[in-house]
Chain A
Amino acid sequence: MKHKLATPSASDTPVVSFSGVWKRYGVIVAARDLNFSVQPGEFLSLLGPSGCGKTTSLRMMAGFDQPSEGEVYLEGERVNGVPAYRRPVNMVFQHYALFPHLDISDNIAYGLRQRSPRPSGEYIEKRIAEILQLVRLEGFEQRRIWELSGGQQQRVALARALINQPKVLLLDEPLAALDRKLRREMQIELQNLQRNVGITFVLVTHDQEEALSMSDRVCIMRDGEIVQIGSPLDLYDRPKNKYVADFVGKSNFFEGHVKQVNASYIDVQLDCGVTISTVPSVEMDQHHAGSRVSVSVRPEQLILARDEKQLPEDCVIKLKARVLNRIFLGEHTEYLLRDESLGEFLALSPRQNEVSESPFETSEIVHVAWGREASLVLGDD
C-alpha cells in the first residue's frame, strides 16, 4: 500500500529511501529490486536469515557498498557513490569494532575529531560527558576497551555512534554477542534510547523476537527480496505468506485448495478432506476456486477442552486429538497434538485455563476447536 502525502514538507521526507535497488556480486544477487523508505524517528528492523540481503541493505545505507542499480536517498538526496565517511549516518557494528589502542573517551570522541573544522576540546569533553551519562557509563572515560564487559562495550559502541547525531543509526546485529538476559535488558535500553534521542534507527537482525519487540516496523527479507513490511502486529496477524507466518512466531500449517470464495471468507478444503471456513491474510481477489493454498492457525488460537460442551458455538472446526507431548513454558503450556486426519499440530494453552482444570496429560484425548478468524488462508510464497 502506498500513502500519498497531501502536503509534503521537510519533515515528511523519508530519512532513508531505496528505489529499485539491486546489488550484484558477480552472478550472485544480494539485493533484488528493493523499494522502501524509513520515516523520521522510526525504528525499522530488517529481519531475515543469513544471506537474505539485510546486511547488504544496511551497508548500502552506510556507504560501504554501492548499489549496482537503483537509487539510495538520504533525506531526499541521492547518495549513490558517496563514500561512508561523507555520509551523515553512523553504524553500531556487530562486534562493536571499538578501537583497542584508544581509551573510552577517545573512542567516543573519534567521530567529532574527524570533523572539520574540529570542535574545541572543551566542547568535545562536554559532549563525551553527556553521552556517557546517556548510556550510563559515567566515570569510564579513561578505561580501556578490554576492561569492559560485553554489555558495556555495546554501550560504548552506541555512544561512539550517537555522539555524531547521525540522521540514521544503523545497527548490525548489535545484540548477537550478548547472553540472553543481557540481550533482553539491552533491547529495552535501546528502545528507550531511541525514544529519548529521537534518532531514526535501522536494525539488522535474524532474531524475530528482537525485531518484533523493538521496532515500529519490520521488513522481512528473503533471498535479497523484501517479502513483507509492516508493524509487528500486522506481520503476526496478517502474514502475507507461509514464509512470514513461519518466521514471525509459531504457526500450524494445513495444505488444501480453495473450494469457494465468498464475500468475506473463503472455504478451503484441506487435503484430509475437511472443509473449513477461513479469512484471507491478503486481498481477497488473489484467491480463486481450485488454487492450492496454505492455511495458518496460530497455536494460541486453538481452544482445548476436556468436555465438548466447553467449546464455543461458532467454531469452524471441532475435532478430537490425542496429546503427544506437553511442554511447560511458565505462563503457557504447549501441547503437541495429533488428529487422525489433520496430523500433528501445536496448541498453546494459557495457564489460568488450567488452574481450574488440571493440565492435560500425555495420551489424553482432548477436544480442539478454533474460530474462522483464527484460520488464515495465506497468499503465494
Chain B
Amino acid sequence: MRSKWPERLLLLPATVWLLVMLVLPLAVVLVFSFGERGPAGGYVPAFTLAQYANLPARFTAFKNTLTLAPLGTFAALIVAYPLAYFLAVKANPRVKTILLVMIIVPFWTSILIRTYAWIFILGGQGIPKLLAMGGLEGIRLINTPTAVLIGIIYGYLPLMVFPIYVSLEKLDKRLLEASEDLGSSPLRTFRNVTLPLSMPGIATGCMLVFILLMGEFLVPALLGGGKVFFIGNALVDLFLQSRNWAYGSAVAATLVIVMLVVVSIYMKLVMRGTNQRKDMSLL
C-alpha cells in the first residue's frame, strides 16, 4: 500500500491555517455571543442568552441584507449575462480582448476609491443634475437603497461575468446549430440549449456574489449614507464603535447560521437542477 504520509504532510499547512484562522475565530465568536459586555466595552465571560434576545434591535440591518443581497445578486445576473453572452458568443477576438481588459482594469484601483467615485456620480451634482436638465426634477439617488444597489451591481459585476463567460465560452457552438437544424428558433435555442448549459456558470456567479454581499459593508456605508444599513455595518459599529463584543458576536453568529441555511438550500436546488451532470464545475 502507498504511504499516505506525503499527502498528509502536504495538507498540513492548509489544515493548520483553516484551524487557526477560521475554526478558532468562529469558536471564539460563538463563546463570546453567550457572554456580556464589560463596563468599558469588550467582553466579560458569562452564559446568558440576553444577546440573542436583543437581536430584534438590529432587525433593519438583517432585513436590508436579506433583501438587498438577493436583489443585488439577481440584478448583477441580469446585467452580467448579456455581457458575458456577448463576450463569449458574439464578440470578435479584438472587441473581446478590449472588453475583457475594461472589465479587469478597474480592479487595479481599490474598491474604496471606486465606490467614492459613485458618491459624486449619484450625488446632487451628478446624475440627478443631468436628469433635472432633462426636466426630471427632484430625483434623489445618493443615500437610497437604489444607490446601494447600483454600487453593488458595479462592484460585483466582474464576479458574475467571469463564471458565466467561462461556461458560455466552453459551450460548443455546434450545439446551437444542431438545435436550429432541428427546428428551434434562435430564441428557443437560447432557452433549450444555451441557458441550461450555462447554468453552472450562473450558479457559481450567484453563489460568489451572494456570499460576499451578505458580508458587505463598504457600499452601504458610502452610498447608503447610514440610512441603508447592512449586517456588515452593524458589526463594524458594534465591534469598533460601541465595543459591545458580546452583542456583536451574537449578530455575527446569527449571520453565519442564516448564511449556512440559505446556502445549503441553494446548493440543494442547484444540485437538483443540474444533477446527473458529469461536468459539475460548481465552485
Contact = CB atoms under 8 A, between A and B. Distances in A.
A62 B181 contact: yes
Interface stretch (A87-95, A286-294, A295-303, A335-343): A87-95
A91 B181 CA distance: 7
Contact of B174 (A93, A101, A161, A164): A93
B170 to A, nearest CB: 11
A84 interface: yes
Interface in B264-283: 276-279
B183 A114 contact: yes
A144 B278 CA distance: 9
A164 B193 CA distance: 19
A85 B185 contact: yes
Interface string B177-215: 111111111101100110011000000000000000000
Nearest to B197: A101
A110 B182 CA distance: 7
| Residue among B172, B180, B183, B188 facing the most chain A CB atoms (10 A cut-off) | B183
Interface string A77-110: 0000001111001110111011111000000001
B188 A97 contact: no
B103 interface: no
B277 A101 contact: yes
Interface in B147-173: 172
Contacts, number: 67
A164 B177 contact: no
A146 interface: yes
B181 A100 contact: no
B180 A93 contact: no
B263 interface: no
A97 B182 contact: no
A79 to B, nearest CB: 14
B256 interface: no
Contact of A95 (B174, B182, B188, B196): B174
Contact of B184 (A85, A93, A97, A98): A85
A360 B119 CA distance: 93
A340 B179 CA distance: 61
A114 B276 contact: no
